[in-house]
Each structure stands twice: as C-alpha cells, then as structure tokens.
Amino acid sequence: MKNVFYKEEGVASAVGTIFAILIFVTVLGIVITTYVPATMQSYEEQYSEGILNSMVQLTSDISFLISNYRTQSVLLVPFDLASNYVPLFSTPTYGSINITPPTGTNAEGTISIIYNNNNITVGGSIQVYTNNRYFTDEEYIYEYSSLIYNQVGSGGKIGSVMESQLFSINTPVESHPNITITLVNLVGGPLVLGSGSPVTISLETLARSYYSFMIQNSSITIKAYSNQFLNKYLYSYLNQSAGSFSLIPNFNDGEISLSFNGVMFVNVLVYTIFISQSQF
C-alpha cells in the first residue's frame, strides 16, 4: 500500500483562493444590495428634480405666452429624460413624455364650460413620467391650465395641484362679482417622447378666443374628464373663495355647477398652443 503525501503549500493555496472568492462574493453582494440602490436612488432624485424644473418652466412659459399673447410666438423647454447610473451594475432610468390631443368629450385634459346653449370645450395634456425604480415614481401633468403632481404607487396615485390659472376672481364690475376662466387648448398630439436623450419641447401660440357673458339668477357648469381634479382641487378652491362673492358651488357626478343669486360677469379666455418636438 502506497503512502499518500500532502503538500502544505498546495492546501494553503487552495484555502487562500477559496477565501479570496468568498471575500469577493461578499463585497459584490454588498455593492449590489446596498451601494447600487442607495446611489441609484440619489441619481433618480436628482433626475426627478430636473424633470420638475422643466415642468415648472413649461408652466411658466405657457403663462408668459398667455400674458404676452402674440400669434406664432415660440418658446422652447428642454427635458433630460435619463438619470445617471452605476456602470456595470445598473442602467439609466429613462423617463417619457406623452402629449395627448384634445379629441372627444372624454379625452384626457378635456374641460367644458357650459352656459345655456353655449358649450366651450378644450383639451389636451402634457404628461411626463419619471419611471423611477429606486426613488419615488412620479408624474407631472399639465392640463386644465394647471400643473398637477402625482406620486405613483401600488396604492394608486396621490395627486396635488401645484399651480393653476384656470379660475380667477377679478375686481367687481359695478359691485357685481367678476370672474375669469382661462382655458388652454393643447394641440399637436398624439406624441410620445422617450429616447433617453435630452429632448426639447416647442410651444407655439396659434389662436386666442374671448367670451363674455352675464349670469343672472342662473348657473354655469364646469365639466372635466378628471373627477379628481374637479373634486379635490377646483371644488375645494371654490368653496374657500365662495364667501367673497356669494357663489354656490355644487359637485355632482363629474360636474361642478356654479350658481349665483343675482348678477355675475363671466369671462372665458381660450388659448390654442401647438406642441411639438423641437429639432434645435
């Protein structure tokens, strides 16, 4: 029977290799489970802040085009639709922009002002999705002359109106209440942008219309595609403001009826803005 001999150097080398592999796997696991998520969350937070800044600029630019109306005035808004990332361990988070057209009575962004036999309807929306995987998934929407923010999660959307030009109370006319409703008709869709590279949105004014009428012991109706917007924001706003001019708002089945006992002047401004992707 032959004797078996072991070389201590070979055993030590094998053990060292095994320990090196274990250390590498442990460090790799820490990088993947801790460092990458934390870093990507930070990158997505910065990227989401950039999306927010672009949407605030877009809202501000639309307000500027309305306040300083001239036909075919153009303003450009840049969007960066990609986050930074950790090479080898992750990929960028890509956002997307969805521009919907003002078509049909139930299209997104559609809102109508109804008084007697008059029906003034506009629509269209600009929806920007962050598509975040590590940070809070968010979406920003411009519709109803308003900038709306939503957190997207398993429990549904949690929305809030960040800014709105839809409804304003003016100086009374001969002691009678005087209100203005500003409607923005967004045309140019459908258009989906999401290449991951920076894109630029072009805003161009096409037309402006003006309607003025007097309500006497009657009411007007505001009807929108989004019950959430009407109920959570506009109805709440009108309830808070109603006391200043004795307006009685009533929310029912996706409509708000504004009743007034007496005389009230109503101005409706409609602006049509063409949205496209700029090639510059």
Tell me if the pTM is above 0.85. no
Using DSSP, state whether 52 is helix, strand or coil. helix
Q: How far is CA 181 from CA 198, 202, 247, 258, in A?
A: 34, 25, 15, 12
Could you report the per-residue pLDDT of 20-75, keeping only the tens digit for each?
Answer: 777 766 666 665 667 788 888 999 999 999 999 999 999 999 999 999 999 999 99
Q: Where are the domains of the chain?
A: 8-277
Q: What burial class does residue 2 get, using C-beta atoms within 10 Å of its C-beta: 0-12 exposed, 13-18 middle, 19+ buried? A: exposed
- CA dist., res. 112 & res. 211, Å (int): 13
Please give the chain's pLDDT, 280 residues, in tens: 556 555 555 566 766 777 677 776 666 666 566 778 888 899 999 999 999 999 999 999 999 999 999 999 999 999 999 999 988 788 999 999 999 888 755 567 888 888 888 889 999 999 999 999 999 999 999 999 999 998 886 555 667 888 889 888 888 888 788 889 999 999 998 899 987 678 999 999 999 999 988 887 777 888 887 777 887 788 777 777 665 566 677 877 778 887 777 788 889 999 999 999 987 6
- Of 85, 98, 82, the residue nearest 42 (C-alpha): 85
- CA dist., res. 200 & res. 186, Å (int): 16
Q: Which residue has the tokens 């008084």?
A: 115
